[in-house]
Every structure is written in structure tokens, then in C-alpha cells.
Amino acid sequence: TSFAGDFAFDNNGQTETSGFYARVNWELQGGSEFTSITDYKSYDKRLFIDVDSAPVNQLANYAGVNAETYTQELRINGETDNTRWVTGVYVLYIDNESDNGLKGPVNSIAATGIGLPVDIGTNAKLDTTSYNIYGQFDYDFAEDFTFTLGARGIREEKDFELGIGFFQSFGNDTFNKGPFL
């Protein structure tokens, strides 16, 4: 019986998440309320999977993600006997980097033409920033009828980078670090 252990190393898959959430409400004069909602999340993933299950390692899938998100909402709302209203701002920021592909060890199908161990990979980076302003006014002008007026303005900016290709591999437990081949 043969066993291929090139991709059977400690920590061949791990995920770490952390975050913070806070919501604060303040009663204002005149019956209005101010609300602040803050949220932060961090996500890191690293995974290697032997996809061919052959006695000699040919290919392994790898995936890595490093993502952070931050949101902030500030809003004021209030009401009277026959009206309700809300207005606020919302900001979202996402920073996401990912590295996915196949690893081809020495003497594998993927490395045969090049002679070196290779990573056939996709590196992507996406930064997103979204700004929002909104408001809504409801007026109950009869017992079963409400007039609603609302608006939202959004501006979103995205910055995307993508690299696809063959990279020199520096080990079965690493992600793309070398230049394109």
C-alpha cells in the first residue's frame, strides 16, 4: 500500500473569524431617537485539498481568503400621532483578497512542461466602498390610508485587480508567492 502525504500536513485547512458589533440608541428631545450601529468582521481562510486521490500527487486545490468588512449607520427617527419619519447615513467598506487554484508538485502533470512545481492560480483583490444617504416620511391622512415619501442616494466605488497564470510553487503548504512564469 502506498500513501501520498505531500498534502497531508498539519493545518491544511483553517478558518479564523472575529468581529465586533455595537448598537447605541439615544432619546432626543421632542420624542426623536438617534441610533448608531457599528459592525466589523474579519475572515481568514486557508485550505488545501488533494483533488486527484492518486498514489502519486498530481494536483491539489488550494484556497485562501482574507476579508474585512466595516459598516457604520447613523440615523434619526421620530413620530407623532399621524406621522413617522427616518433619515440617516450608511457606510460600507469591504477589503477582500483571495488566492485560488491548483498546485502541481514536481513531476506532476501540471509541472511536466515547465519542469518546476507550479501553482496554477487566480489572485484577486476587491475593495468596495459604499456611501448611502436615505430618508422616509409617512403621513396617515385617513384611518386606512398612508402617504409615503422616501429617497435613497448611493455612491459605490470598487477597485478590482486580477492575476491569472502559472506561478512558481515554493511548497505544498504555501500560496502563490513567486512571479508569473
Tens-place pLDDT, residues 66-86: 999 999 999 999 999 999 999
Please list the residues that pair with 55 across neighbouring strands.
none
pTM as predicted: 0.77
Q: Given this model, what pLDDT does residue 180 score?
A: 53
Residue 126: per-residue pLDDT = 95
CA angle, 148 then 37 then 83, to 5°: 25
Rounded to an integer, the average pLDDT of 33-53 is 90
> Is the per-residue pLDDT at 46 higher than 90?
no
pLDDT category at 49 given cuts 50, 70, 90 is confident
113-129 confidence digits (pLDDT tens)? 767 788 888 889 999 99
Q: Is 11 left (phi over 0), alpha (psi -120 to 50) or beta?
A: left
User: Is residue 2 very low, low, confident or very high in pLDDT (cuts 50, 70, 90)?
Assistant: very low
Confidence of residue 8 (pLDDT cuts 50, 70, 90): low
